[in-house]
Every structure is written in C-alpha cells, then in structure tokens.
C-alpha cells in the first residue's frame, strides 16, 4: 500500500475518533458552538473584544452555554440572572473550583496563587 494513502487513512481515523469522543462528552453540558478537534472554539472568540464575542454567543445559545478552550469544556454564564441563579439559588453545587494545571505548576500544588507586581 502506498505510504501516503496509509497516512491519510490514519489521520482521517484519528480525526473521526476525536469528533466522536467530543460529541459523546457533550451529552451533559449546555448547548454551544461545535468545537474543532484540538483547538476547540478559540477561533470563534475575538481576542480584541472578548465581551462582545460572549454576548454574540449568548444571543445564539442562551445565557448558559459551553465553550471549549482547547480540549477542555468551559460552561459560560452570561448575564446577571444566570449568574445569580447559579451562585445564589444553586450555590452549593457551584462551591468547588476546577483545577488549573498552570496555577498548580506555579504554586507546586500548595494553596493559592498570588500575583506580585
């Protein structure tokens, strides 16, 4: 078999496997734009005006939606009512924090990270 054909078939299979894996993970998350396999929704966010990007996405998907920042899903709460309902009405569910590997590495896993100027 031609090596180029094998490479194309392998990459196609990996791409389809990645899409299938992402779609199976999205079952319990709020709706949101379809992410690209490795970079997620990074290309759909305007870095110069992030607030406007989030507002535009909330018009399409509602005040609670899912964005993928890279391969990691992130639930976005947009607007006062959505934040109030999540933090006041369901505060016990949202009491924990997710792990951020960058901060864990900066603090060696020991407590809070504080910025010094």
User: What is the tens place of the pLDDT at every residue in 32-46?
Assistant: 998 887 888 889 888
- Phi first, then psi: what are they for 66, rounded to 5°? -110, 130
Q: Give the pLDDT band (50/70/90) at residue 65.
A: very high
Name the residue range of residue 18's domain: 3-78
Mean of pLDDT values over 71-82: 89
**Domain annotation covers residue 99:** no
Position 116 scores a pLDDT of 47
**Which pLDDT belongs to residue 57?**
93
With respect to residue 100, please indicate whether it lies within any of the assigned structural domains.
no
Residue 22 in domain: yes
Q: Look at residue 60 in the predicted model and tell me its pLDDT.
A: 94
How far apart are the C-alpha atoms of 15 and 72, rounded to whole Å? Answer: 17
- Note whether residue 32 is domain-resident: yes
User: CB neighbours of 81 closer than 8 A, spacing ≥ 6?
Assistant: 63
Tokens linked to 53: 């990007």
Domain presence at residue 57 = yes
CA quadruple 63, 68, 69, 75: dihedral, nearest 10: 40
Q: Is the pLDDT of residue 64 over 60?
A: yes
User: Which among 8, 7, 65, 16 is positioned nearest to 41, based on CA atoms?
Assistant: 65
Q: How many domains does the chain have?
A: 1
- The stretch 93-112 carries a mean pLDDT of 69
46 assigned to some structural domain: yes
């Amino acid at each position: 078999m031609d090596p180029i054909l094998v490479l194309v078939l392998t990459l196609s299979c990996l791409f389809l496997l990645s899409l299938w894996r992402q779609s199976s993970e999205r079952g319990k998350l709020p709706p949101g734009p379809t992410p690209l396999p490795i970079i997620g929704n990074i290309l759909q966010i305007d870095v110069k005006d992030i607030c406007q990007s989030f507002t535009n996405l909330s018009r399409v998907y509602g005040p609670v939606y899912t964005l993928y920042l890279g391969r990691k899903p992130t639930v976005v709460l947009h607007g006062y009512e959505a934040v109030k309902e999540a933090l006041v009405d369901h505060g016990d569910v949202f009491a924990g924090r997710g792990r951020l590997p960058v901060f864990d590495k900066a603090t060696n896993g020991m407590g809070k990270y504080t910025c010094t100027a």
